[in-house]
Structure 1
Amino acid sequence: TWTHLDDHTLINSNNTMKESANSSSVPVIDLNDPNASKLIGHACKTWGVYQVVNHGIPISLLDEIQWLGQTLFTLPSHQKLKAIRSPDGVSGYGLARISSFFPKLMWSEGFTIVGSPLDHFRQLWPQDYAKHCDTVLQYDEAMKKLAGKLMWLMLDSLGITMEDIEWAGSKAQFDEKACAAMQLNSYPSCPDPDHAMGLAPHTDSTFLTILSQNDISGLQVQREGSGWVTVPPLHGGLVVNVGDLFHILSNGLYTSVLHRVLVNRTRQRFSVAYLYGPPSNVEICPHEKLVGP
């Protein structure tokens, strides 16, 4: 376990936060705002993370995917283990991938979905797997559309057009070839949250990650000058992280945000991360428009 957690926000049994005086707020951006691209660009440059509202994803679908995660993680352990991720696989039940670097620190469990969850869901819910598969399919389609929209808004804020991205092809072609994964996360209540971590500090190796979180705080991002800043749950809102690949593409102009998750003494936290990246055969490098002479 952690011997101590320096410079972090403590979560007490009432889920209230004791925040440092210099904490500031992660930007919240309305995608219906005509200046959305400019606002997103500023957020990516100064924070590496932002929240979006009026994003087009029905709240009912966000609630459904949260309910799916809760239903999955409340299954008995022996049932969940029927869908365990194989050592060389990417999909299934297990700890977060980065947990291998922090074997004693992680107070969480996860379920990764790449492609169809049909085989694993048949193991988990032999009688009614189909409705859960339908929820995942609907969520994946909606998220892929939103992720593509956000990516092009972020590129637009850098002055980069679709024609500037040679490997993108048409928007429809890119949307078809883009790689994506879904990660369901559970952070159980922890009897000693000051000496445990839900998810250790890390960045995402993606273009961007879209996160739906329930009403329990825990996600924090690091910002220069402010330390660790809590990203408060916003009903119907979605958190968007800049990933490592976009940091590279932007030639370092946009920050790949370091983030972590704290645990709560009495309440369980659930989240769903949608990790979005380029086609697997594409090598990402700083765009020539953003490289000086």
Structure 2
Amino acid sequence: MEMEVGNGGEKFKWGKSLPVPSIQEIVKNDFQSVPDRYVQDRPITSQNLVDSHEIPFIDFSSLAKGDEHETRKLHLACKDWGFFQLINHGVKEEVLEKMKAAVSAFFELPVEEKNKYAKAENEIQGYGQNFVVSENQKLDWSDMIYLITVPAESRKYKFWPLTLPGFKEAMEEYSREMQRVAEEIQANLSVLMGLERDGLKRVEGDLKQGIRMNYYPVCARPDLVLGISPHSDGTSFTLLLQDDDVTGLHIKHNHAWLPVKPLPNSLVVNVGDATEIQSNGMYKSIEHRGVTNEKKPRISVATFMFPDDEQEIGPLETMINDQNHPRLYRNIKYVDYVREKFSRKMQGKAHTQFVKLHN
């Protein structure tokens, strides 16, 4: 997901996002107030709260061994929920905790230090916010730092807080582990979509990776704000490391918002738009959002896995049946899809309409 894309020897930028104040600093200076620009309509969470154990669980170790029952569970999770909890993934608890500690340490830095890594207006990497396309749009109650991590040559170390002890080492180790897990998930999705294990890799190229680290401050009126607005991810899929102590992720299921209670040492995986398109709508990229509370801040780490910029994505031939499953999406170069996505604020699944065929 490069920021600059070649075009006949010239380069042009995409992903413009306007600079915004740090909400962490706003809260430090005045905990009681909620500025008007952060007040949003927030559909309430379902009163029939679904326990996190009803969110599908996938055992990674069984999946990696080719267990047919686990593969079937993965199919149903992606089809019916678009989300699942991944357990027994083989990432050591120490690696997860070092990553959380590195994220916490960054957001504990003085704002003057964090601002050294601030993203430019036409840049997606760095500290700040993305998807801010208007001076009038409502803002989310969170700060973030986003870094491209794979391939290594796409890293922009000017946005990495390299003077923060242990940050680079934690990021690199965590990134390697997420890549390992992601490649196994990609291989299983390939088989489920009627391809060989390396089928999606041939279609998408090697999976690229970006890591978004989020900080959600406390809020005196959490009912008035959203930590992150409802959206689906423009990825192949996303791996989320949650804060063990604070529930903040909500997913939209059967038209209701349901909380996903953190499960220690697990990863939450969600289907991205690219997989929805490639599966011809069989697997769903689901709207999700982040919420806040008045008692404890929350962090999360989202690892985005996505195709090569220049690869074309579209429904796989194995997922099209003219009678029962006609083509629902057109083909599009991935970079064009992402450019369209970054031109909008987070707005549910509005951007997926861009590639839908409206017959």
- TM-score w.r.t. structure 2 length? 0.71
When residues 199 and 167 of structure 1 are mapped into structure 2, their CA distance, relative to the original with a 3 A threshold, is same
| SS across alignment from 1:265 | coil
Percent identity over the alignment? 28
Higher relative contact order (CA 8 A, sep 6+): 1
Distance 1:68 1:163 in 2: 34
| SS across alignment from 2:109 | coil
**Structure 1 residue 156, shift from structure 2 partner:** 1.9
Alignment match of 2:237 (pick from 193, 208, 214): 208
| SS across alignment from 1:235 | coil
Alignment match of 2:159 (pick from 95, 113, 120): 120
Alignment match of 2:253 (pick from 194, 199, 223): 223
Work out whether residues 190 and 199 of structure 2, in 8 Å CA contact, stay in contact via their aligned partners in 1.
Answer: no
Give the letter for the 2:254 counterpart: E
**Structure 1 residue 76, shift from structure 2 partner:** 1.1
Larger mean Cα displacement after TM superposition, 230-239 or 98-107: 98-107
| Corresponding position of 1:189 | 218
Work out whether residues 237 and 305 of structure 2, in 8 Å CA contact, stay in contact via their aligned partners in 1.
Answer: yes
| Corresponding position of 1:154 | 189
When residues 190 and 22 of structure 1 are mapped into structure 2, their CA distance, relative to the original with a 3 A threshold, is closer
Alignment match of 1:281 (pick from 306, 310, 314): 310
When residues 252 and 59 of structure 1 are mapped into structure 2, their CA distance, relative to the original with a 3 A threshold, is same
Distance 2:232 2:252 in 1: 10
**Structure 1 residue 155, shift from structure 2 partner:** 2.5
Work out whether residues 211 and 271 of structure 1, in 8 Å CA contact, stay in contact via their aligned partners in 2.
Answer: yes
Work out whether residues 49 and 259 of structure 2, in 8 Å CA contact, stay in contact via their aligned partners in 1.
Answer: no
Alignment match of 1:139 (pick from 174, 178, 181): 174
The within-5 A match list for 1:44-59 is 44-59=78-93
- TM-score w.r.t. structure 1 length? 0.86
Distance 1:72 1:270 in 2: 11
Distance 1:266 1:92 in 2: 28
Gaps of 5+ in 1: 10-18
Task: Count the aligned residue pairs.
Answer: 271
**Structure 1 residue 274, shift from structure 2 partner:** 0.3
| Corresponding position of 2:55 | 26
- Deviation per residue, 1:237-277 (Å, 9 max, x gap): 00001000000000000011100000011100100000001
| Corresponding position of 2:42 | 5
Alignment match of 1:98 (pick from 107, 131, 141): 131
When residues 229 and 62 of structure 1 are mapped into structure 2, their CA distance, relative to the original with a 3 A threshold, is same
Alignment match of 2:277 (pick from 248, 256, 261): 248
When residues 163 and 145 of structure 1 are mapped into structure 2, their CA distance, relative to the original with a 3 A threshold, is closer
Give the letter for the 2:158 counterpart: D
| SS across alignment from 2:313 | coil
Work out whether residues 190 and 198 of structure 2, in 8 Å CA contact, stay in contact via their aligned partners in 1.
Answer: no
Distance 2:294 2:263 in 1: 21
Alignment match of 1:70 (pick from 78, 81, 104): 104
Distance 1:22 1:270 in 2: 23
- Deviation per residue, 1:154-191 (Å, 9 max, x gap): 2222332246448349xxxx5xx322100000001111
- Deviation per residue, 1:188-209 (Å, 9 max, x gap): 1111100010000000000000
**Structure 1 residue 26, shift from structure 2 partner:** 1.2
Give the letter for the 1:217 counterpart: T
Distance 2:198 2:267 in 1: 28
- Deviation per residue, 1:271-291 (Å, 9 max, x gap): 000000112211111000110
Larger mean Cα displacement after TM superposition, 70-79 or 201-210: 70-79
Distance 2:218 2:49 in 1: 28
Gaps of 5+ in 2: 1-37, 150-154, 323-359
Distance 2:73 2:299 in 1: 28
When residues 253 and 219 of structure 1 are mapped into structure 2, their CA distance, relative to the original with a 3 A threshold, is same
| Corresponding position of 1:261 | 290
RMSD value, Cα: 2.0
Work out whether residues 217 and 233 of structure 1, in 8 Å CA contact, stay in contact via their aligned partners in 2.
Answer: yes
